[in-house]
Structures are given as C-alpha cells and as structure tokens.
Structure 1
Amino acid sequence: MTEKYRIILTGAGGKMGKDILAGIMKEPDIQVVGAVDFKMIGKDIGFYAGEEAINVTIQDKLEQVIIDTKPQIMIDFTNPQAVMKNIRTALSHKVASVVGTTGLTSHDVEELAELTEKHQTPVFIAPNFALGAVLMMRFAQEAGKYFPHVEVIEKHHDQKMDAPSGTALKTMEMIAESRKEMHQGASHEFEKIPGSRGGYYQGMRVHSVRLPGLIAHQEVIFGGQGQTLTIRHDSLSRDSFVPGVLLAIRNILNMKGVVYGLEKLLW
C-alpha cells in the first residue's frame, strides 16, 4: 500500500477546520496525525468530525504536536493573527504548509519566500480552495480584456475578520493583468457616506458584505456599452473547499518555494 500523507491541521476547532477534517479523514491516502486549536482541546478529532474516535485529540501547542507526530504537511485554517507564526513554526521543522487562511500581506509572502529557501520546505497558499471559485477568477480575468469597467461584490459570514476577502483581492490582481489601470464612474463623483463606493484597487471597486447565513460568495460585474456581464460563484457549504485542499496535499511535496493560487495546480 502507498504510504499515507501525514497531516496536522491548525484551526481544527473552527467551523472550517471541522469540515476540512471530516472531508480529508475519509481519504485512504491521508492520515491525520494531529490537530491544533485553542478550542475543543482534548476532543478526539474522529468523534469531533462525526466519525469514530481515532485516538488523535486537539491540542493547543503546535510545536509540541509537530515534535510528537512528525507530520509531512500542516494545513492552516486559522486567522490572520496566527497564521504567520504557525507557518514559521512548521517551516522550522521542515513541515510543508497548505494555507487557506487569508489576510497575508505581500510582505508576509516575501518573508515566506525567504524562509522556504532557508529551510528548503514549500508553502502553498490559496485564497480560495473551491474549484468553482478558481474558475470564476479565471473567467473574470479573461472578461477584463474586453470589459475594463468592473466592480467586485464579495459576501461572507459575519465572523470573517479580513476585508476584502483574499478571493476578491486575487480576482482583482488577475483582472489587472488584463487591463490598464483606469478611473471608473463620474469624474466628480462624491460619497455622502464615506466608503459608499467601496474599496479601490487599480481603478476597480470592491464591496464586502458580512452577514450571518452566508458562507463564501462573489460576483464580478462588468459594464459595457448597452450591456453588463456578471460572473458569480457561491460556496453553499464548507465542504466545497475539500477537493481543492486534497489537490494541494497531493501536490505540495513536489513544490519548491512559495506557490500562490489553486490555479497553479489546474493549468
């Protein structure tokens, strides 16, 4: 039998962590050997994920879990305040990282590039692991060649900490590769309420909605002469991210340095 990927998950006590655990534990080529969070400490992850107990419990000290379990890969779904510390810890022990936590800055990515070189261990980062979301971004990039007037509306649950979302930022970065920076809207427009026109990125506007009941949704609206074009993706449940996480797990050990974006694994 092929050797299994040895995985630890940080952020295991959150909603995303729970659903990722439930998804990857079912795979015959994956063995979850550890889980880290400041919530649900001592909880068996098998039982926690709705399966049989597997004698692996959630712990609160990442480095100790790495030392005890000797994983190959860390999956991180935590928060912007914790993610860099977690990746630094993993890299120092030559554990590859699959990162779904958003909020990383360009400075963070530059630091990670140096650390991956130093430790000869890869880091894979994706602002969105849903395959449909990646296709949405690709289609939007293509549309930007023909429709330079564009606004992005992203909607997430009300516990999301960063805005705009990593997916929205990545989408605008990709569109910016297809169009020149330009001003949109009336030349003398003004806001009666500050922020009404949304955030600004190379002439594009982005709007972030945070409400209970939402998971992860985005629409990219293009405007042209006498027409509009809308490209939209909706994650209706968190298990929509599992196929992308599995794709990253099965490819990361062959990567070098920092790899950013699930599209790197699709085309």
Structure 2
Amino acid sequence: MDIARTLPEECIANIISGTSPGDACRLSLVSRAFESAATSNLVWERFLPPDYQEIISSSSSSSSSLNLLTKKNLYFHLCDNPILIGNSNNMSFQIDKHNGKKCLMLAARELSIIWGSGDTPHYWEWISSTQSPVLPKSRFSELAHLRNVCWLDIKSRIETKILSPKTKYVAYFIYFMVDGFYGFNLPVKVSIRLENEVEGGDATNAYLNPRMRSGTDNRQRSNEELLQINRQDGRLPIKREDRWMEIEIGEFFNGSQVDDHGAVEMCLKEVQVLNWKFGLVVHGIELRPKEES
C-alpha cells in the first residue's frame, strides 16, 4: 500500500512532525508527496520551541525579517545565526540543530564579576568587542578584560523557565587568553547547582590555560606546575570553531517546570592560592543541551 496516495498530506505531515528534524529531512527524499509534507510549516513549527515567536519579537534587530521565512528556513537560520534578545541585548538565543532545544548565552555584562563593575579599571576593564584585532569575533558589544587580580570570582544565574524543559543542559565558560597572559597554570574551581536543590554545587578543577593541552613549553614550568599537569585532575579547555575557548562548568537537568520556576547558579573562581592573574577576556557563559551519546 502506498501511504502517500491513501493519506492526505496533512496526515503525513502530522506523522512526520512526531519524529525529529533529521528524520524529516530524510523522509523528504522518499517521494514528492513526502517532500511536500516534510517541508511544510506544520512540521517545522512543531520542531521550533513553543515560545519562539515571543523570543523573536524580543530581538530588536531581526524580528521583522525572520517572520518572512518559512518555518523550515527559520529553524535552520536560528541554528546557525544566534540572535540577541532582551532589553540590553546581553543574551543570545539559538536552537540545537538536532532537536530544536534552546541554546542560550549570557554576555559578560550579565555575569557577576568581583571588581568587574567598572569602578576599578586597574583590576578589570570593559572593552569593545571590536577594539582588538586579535580577539575573536563576538556576538556582544562588550567584553570583560582581566587586567590584574589575585581574587578571581565570576558567578552567573539564569531562570530555568526560559530553557527547554525535560532537558539535560551543560554550561560552558567562554573566554580568550591574550598574549602575555599569566597566573593560570594552576586550576580554578567551577561549580553549578539548581537553587531548589539542597545537594549539588560541588567544585571541580578546571585549567583555563590552553597550553595545558599539550606537552610544549614544559622546560619553562616548575616541578609543581608539571605535577599539576600530570595529575590530570581537572577539566581542560577546547578551542571552538569561532576561535573562542570553552571549558565545561557542569551539567544539570531542567525538569518539567510545571510546579517550579527556579534558577541555576554557575560559578568560576580561584580564591585560595591568590596568585596574580592577567590576560583573561570573558565572553560569557553558554548553556547548551547535552549531546546524546
């Protein structure tokens, strides 16, 4: 029996909308009838987050042009092109290409940085994202540049209701190291916890120094530093395609949100060794759905 001939296109579209974006793309190759159903607005609107229209309307720069796209084109546009949302454009939104879940990034201005308010520019300074030709391209207008501190303390908080429900998320610290950076051969502590959970928030070692990933420059390191590397007791950074570095802060499960609109708190700090540090540029903190293995 040829299902494409016996069922109306709307019924086929309803069936396809219960699969996944990848399945819809594959099914569009089956026949012309399946292609028409699999590319319909009915299918792709269900793959988009339920509140996507509200999110797009909060973006002052792109809402009018995005509304002209078909739902399929809109889906893939939001996968590849983060849009700035919120009153101050200090948050970006995009969707995961595989499942349509929300990905959010908080700009450095949305983070709580000790001595980073701007009143003490000899500790931290705020720079334009286009000020330095050596910095990677940023989606935000401002970045936090560490001038010199011994007490490194960066925190962030986001309400879970704006994330996709029933989803495991991973939080990443996004940053860059300028030439001549120092003070990052020892680990910082990263932690994450849901506000409504008594347990959680255990700190984990993380090495922001990108050179910790290789065996180069070992002759210039002390025995204590080499011992720290050989222990491999912490997370190491990864260089992204956009040239920024990212290091995992931690993961959490965002529940149904029916009864509880809580928040998740993220933290990166080094307040024990208190060695002086320089050269860190903070882009923000990004939350992405965890990839299924």
- Whichever of the two has the greater Rg, that structure is 2
**Higher strand proportion, which one?**
2
TM-score by length of 2: 0.29
**Higher helix proportion, which one?**
1
